[in-house]
Chains A and B, each alone.
Chain A
Amino acid sequence: VENVQLLDRLSSRKAALGTLYLTATHVIFVENGSETRKETWVLHSQISSIEKQATTASGCPLVIRCKNFQVIQLVIPQERDCHDIYISLIRLARPVKYEELYCFSFNLKLDKEEREQGWKLVDLNEEYNRMGIPNNYWQISDVNRDYGVCDSYPTELYVPKSVTAHIIVGSSKFRSRRRFPALSYYCKCNNASICRSSQPLSGFSARCLEDEQMLQAIRKANPGSDFLYVVDTRPKLNAMANRAAGKGYENEDNYSNIKFQFIGIENIHVMRNSLQKMLEVCDLKSPSMSDFLWGLENSGWLKHIKAIMDAGIFIAKAVAEEGVSVLVHCSDGWDRTAQVCSVASLLLDPYYRTMKGFMVLIEKDWVSFGHKFNHRYGNLDGDPKEISPVIDQFIECVWQLMEQFPCAFEFNERFLIHIQHHVYSCQFGNFLCNSQKERRELKIRERTYSLWAHMWKSRADYLNPLYRSDHSQTQGTMHTQIAPFNFLYKFWSGMYNRFEKGLHPRQSVTDYLMAVKEETQQLEEELEVLQERLANLQKSHLNGNKVKSKQQDQSKQLGLSTSNNSLANTPQEYSNDLKSFPSRSPSQGDEEDSALILTQDNLKSSDLDLSANSDQESGVEDLSCRSSSAGGCLPSEDSGKDSDEAVFLAV
């Protein structure tokens, strides 16, 4: 469809005219305009809702909301086109069969072997070995090898050594969806562990000997401690209500030496609504400070984030400081339990704060333990009430920790954002389906690619420049601040306003430091080469030999522009009063809002910037052109700087 307008979400004034294309996998908008032809690509699987609004004079508006928080507002000139697009998108955004998903058609052009290698990057057996398991207390159990005991659990599970198949099966019958207690994390240094399960089917009075034996075995697998924490991550009221349905929570009297604890994290429905409310706030057009803060508070989002963090902190403390093992559950043990176990693991073990370790953590606590990715993130058309931002909240918890501990994580914010994106994109097979069983049946590993291998390839982009494996923040347990005070958790505009670039800091410290580090690395290499040449020269000089020094090609360029100058150079809407100024200067032409769009000047200067940086032919190695500003990158300014270099090259 041609002549479609793409509106800017925050400012009603900026609109781009272009052509809209629908393909089998993407919605593509290509801006008119000869030089830039900016393209916007949206995967059908990212589309969360499409809204057709009342036709106006300029056309028929269509709003596409995406699961990665992009909102696209289009105005389509013809009502009929708009309707057709609307109908097609509704169908395309809600596939009914897995085979329709993008990952089955997405081809990275890797051969079979490479694809298999990719899937092997994250290996959970290796991970349990890293934890020190199997050992004297824990062993692998094959009781679920054909998914015979629990179809949402993986085939390989770790349980206390003293536990027999009989106890496992007995315990599984006493747990919702037969999700019996199994090991999630084991702390080598003090034998304390984190186990996870679903709620017990205790009702008002039921008990189960095998389940009691199971918990006792978990406690005894930690000989240093004489009790076990059982953490129910639900609000007490919810747990009590479950008793009427024959479910519920552990009765302290029936289990020997357990300490029972409620941690009130709300259920998926509350979280879904909370996110919805917060997104409405992000959606406001030029909100006042009060609108924003009120809306944020009313959404309750940060309060929920805090609840999850608090639960994780509680468990990490129990394990690290008290040396007590913890059994965690919620209702089914696949949402809140996954959040809390993974936050606790992250706090406890620096390995999970590395890039590889984080991938392992998600595979372990989310993918293998049957977090229902398909239902929660609506990959296939399904019950909208099953959808909830469960892993989004976990990812945000990690970001909140990164804000507090800037040196503790090997990866950066971009890494988290990309993972969130791919949870929804269905471009890779990792997060398909609701369980390992379903994934195996679909032959995901043979038919799709692994996200982790893909991200690992470009890991340089995801590095936190402040991370150093020998830094104090990367050692041992993370001790979050104990003193109570407000404002610990912040709104993450990098995620929820991810596509509103104008709202973000215009210069990224991370990008800047990454550029510095990259340059440092190149300098280190060059230093080595130079030292070698110097040594050779000195040798040959001593020997009195004629040496023809090989001219090295030193034209590698370090053109790194770390800030978005075109944005930095665009004022926002600061006043409505400017629009009607009578004596508009002629140079601004007939642009209605020249002050508010990128002017020619700016486009030019950023073009120059690019050309300065990519000018490979100059032959002048320019180490000083790393700059956060376009001004500093202009070629004319650089020419004088490398006079030494010029001499060097003339030899």
Chain B
Amino acid sequence: MEFAELIKTPRADNVVLHRPLHQAVEGTLCLTGHHLIFSSRRQINAEELWLLHSNIDSIEKRFVGSLGTIIIKCKDLRIIQLDIPGMEECLNIASSIEALSTLDSVTLMYPFFYRPMFEIIEDGWRAFLPEQEFELLSSVTDEWRLSCINKEFSVCSSYPPVVIVPKSIDDEALRKVASFRQGSRFPVLSYYHKKNGMVMMRSSQPLTGTNGRRCKEDEKLINATLRPGRGGYIIDTRSLTAAQQARAKGGGFEQEVHYPQWRRIHKFIERFNILQESLIKLVEACNDQSHNMDRCLSKLEASNWLTHIKKILTAACLAAQCIDREGASVLVHGTEGTDSTLQVTSLAQIILDPRCRTIRGFESLVVREWLQAGHPFQQRCAQSAYSNSKQKWEAPVFLLFLDCVWQILRQFPCSFEFNEQFLIMLFEHAYASQFGTFLGNNENERSKLKLQQKTMSLWSWVNRPEELRKFKNPLFEANSLVIWPSVAPQSLQLWEGVFLRWNKSSKFLHEAEEEMINVIKYNKELKERVDALRRQLAEMETEEMQENL
């Protein structure tokens, strides 16, 4: 086994673990192929800390005499410090961790080695298939069809093998449209609004170039979604300037002349390293322990994180508004249509579709709009807030999406079946996991990696009753309405559950949550008892009546 070569010192004793909000503990440190394990030797309250190597974002070492200190910063934003006696041991451990946390081959990752200890009730890999989604759709409309044009990923490498497209557009036309869109990401159905039959589609930018190329099939495809006499909106997640400049590189935008029924709105959402830097600054501000309030708000402001949240939410609300209020169809795209586009389409669905606010529905949304839609998770989530690699493709796009969901959840605390923990769990697994769900950059890569055969799906684990229990919102009451969040600065807040998770005690908030559950549980119990008694009484009284008769 090649991991053994990387582990220079598998075990160290008398190691002291420091964490914020916790007392320092002494114990033993062990390194395995995929985990860093710390266990305190004290018999009472013996504590064990298991850390996936892939969760480690960066590692620093320091020496004072022969006492070495390793500071480990994780992708889930926690920071731990290990004091290791012996310089050589410390160096060995540090370099082993470094090597193990930066394995370059996906197939060496833990999901390929993980053996589940739980009974699988439902295979998560088969839980959310496009075919099922289409079945649901066909029960309300027959204007769409399932196209297998991308079988073998031959047309678009970042699309799933089957996609939903307008019935009137055949595969031949689709092929032409694909050649007119960046990365062959032709417009496909993202969401069908049952209430009024309006739809949301997503794609990548059209390749109009400087000479204003057009594609009749592309126009026909998106026009096929319009109701007679009605227009639609194209929401471009780039600024107008950026969209214009894209023409020089062969990209571009839909021109009014060729798309007269469509109105284009530019809603600029940042991408790539700007977002990564925003995250880095935000986490820095949150970890700042200098004890003065003086500058903390300006640091929060300088990170621009909430500005991004506001922009993304605004764009999503706009898309939802076009569909629900203007009764128009919407096409969303940016450049590739793999980042900001997906933020907008998925958030708009949460606003519009009550199903997406259930656990099952939200999982399905993540699968459809993120995994199958080809958000490059492996690239984007390679590093988190403590990275110094500065790779352009690393960006907390998915985390921003989850943060936006949290903001809506905070404003509509009774409308979601899941709780904050569920979102935090998804954040963790997107960055480091024992499951294969978030590996790879698209379905094509996932199928090549044979993830379905070789790894376990996150959903197989989450969707068991004993896990699901932790993620249920006790306040949930199905709300069939469209929910319109406020995007005013006063309404948006720092997501403490993620960003202050490791340095602010949440004990009292947890107690409050428990209390909430108790209040509701007691109410339900009473209801059942009252119902049972009523039934019993009714039966007895009926008996009595009959006897009397």
Interface of A toward B, CB cutoff 8 Å: 10, 282, 286-294, 296-297, 302-303, 306, 404-408, 465-466, 468, 471-473, 481, 483-491, 493, 497, 500, 502-509, 512-513, 516-517, 519-520, 523-524, 526-527, 530-531, 533-534, 537-538, 541, 546-547, 549, 562-563, 565, 568-572, 574-575, 577-578, 581-583, 585, 587, 594-595, 599, 623, 627-632, 644-645, 647-648, 651
Q: In the assembled complex, how far is the CB of residue B221 from the closest CB belonging to chain A, in whole angstroms? A: 20
A466 touches B318 (CB 8 A): no
Inter-chain CA distance A538–B540, complex, in Å, is 9
Chain B: number of interface residues, binned into ranges:
35 or more
A526 touches B480 (CB 8 A): no
Interface of B toward A, CB cutoff 8 Å: 20-21, 229-231, 233, 261, 263, 265, 267, 285-286, 288-291, 293-301, 304, 306-307, 309-310, 314-315, 317-318, 320-322, 324-328, 410-415, 475, 477-494, 496, 500, 503-505, 508-509, 511-512, 515-516, 519-520, 522-523, 526-527, 529-531, 533-538, 540-542, 544-545, 548
B326 touches A578 (CB 8 A): yes
Inter-chain CA distance A547–B540, complex, in Å, is 11
B481 touches A629 (CB 8 A): yes
A623 touches B318 (CB 8 A): no
B519 touches A523 (CB 8 A): no
B289 touches A489 (CB 8 A): no
Query: Which of B325, B489, B527 interacts with A293 by CB under 8 Å?
Result: B489
B306 touches A645 (CB 8 A): no
A407 touches B477 (CB 8 A): no
Query: Which of B300, B481, B529, B531 interacts with A631 by CB under 8 Å?
Result: B481
Known: A289-B301, A484-B291, A506-B411. A541 touches B490 (CB 8 A): no
Known: A571-B320, A651-B538. A504 touches B491 (CB 8 A): yes
A292 touches B489 (CB 8 A): yes
Known: A483-B21, A513-B516. A523 touches B527 (CB 8 A): yes
Known: A406-B509, A483-B505. A648 touches B534 (CB 8 A): yes
By a CB distance below 8 angstroms, the chain B residues around A570 are 484
Query: Which of A10, A289, A487, A644 interacts with B286 by CB under 8 Å?
Result: A487
Residue of A nearest to B410 (CB): A505
Question: Nearest 9 pairs between A and B by C-beta?
Answer: A292-B489, A406-B512, A631-B480, A486-B296, A293-B301, A297-B297, A629-B479, A628-B414, A484-B291
Residue of B nearest to A527 (CB): B530
Inter-chain CA distance A507–B293, complex, in Å, is 31
Inter-chain CA distance A488–B410, complex, in Å, is 18
B523 touches A519 (CB 8 A): yes
Interchain pairs with CB closer than 8 A, number = 279
Inter-chain CA distance A572–B314, complex, in Å, is 9
Inter-chain CA distance A405–B515, complex, in Å, is 12
By a CB distance below 8 angstroms, the chain B residues around A10 are 488
Residue with the greatest number of chain A CB neighbours at <10 A, chosen from B293, B478, B503, B515: B293
Query: Which of B233, B299, B307, B491 interacts with A288 by CB under 8 Å?
Result: B307
B545 touches A297 (CB 8 A): no
Inter-chain CA distance A520–B493, complex, in Å, is 33
Inter-chain CA distance A215–B518, complex, in Å, is 50
By a CB distance below 8 angstroms, the chain A residues around B492 are 289
Query: Which of A294, A487, A537, A631 interacts with B301 by CB under 8 Å?
Result: A294
By a CB distance below 8 angstroms, the chain B residues around A407 are 508, 511-512, 515
Known: A513-B520, A595-B321. 4 other contacts (CB 8 A): A406-B511, A520-B523, A571-B484, A581-B231
Query: Which of B286, B411, B484, B515 interacts with A466 by CB under 8 Å?
Result: B515
Inter-chain CA distance A370–B19, complex, in Å, is 48
Query: Which of B295, B299, B482 interacts with A569 by CB under 8 Å?
Result: B482
Q: In the assembled complex, how far is the CB of residue B207 from the closest CB belonging to chain A, in whole angstroms? A: 25
Inter-chain CA distance A484–B478, complex, in Å, is 40
Pick 7 A–B contacts, CB within 8 A, sort by A: A289-B310, A404-B508, A473-B511, A512-B413, A568-B481, A568-B483, A595-B321
By a CB distance below 8 angstroms, the chain B residues around A488 are 293, 504
Residue of A nearest to B484 (CB): A571
B412 touches A486 (CB 8 A): no
A527 touches B526 (CB 8 A): yes
By a CB distance below 8 angstroms, the chain B residues around A630 are 481
A507 touches B490 (CB 8 A): no
By a CB distance below 8 angstroms, the chain A residues around B324 are 571
Q: In the assembled complex, how far is the CB of residue B329 from the closest CB belonging to chain A, in whole angstroms? A: 12
B526 touches A296 (CB 8 A): no
By a CB distance below 8 angstroms, the chain A residues around B486 are 502-504, 506, 572
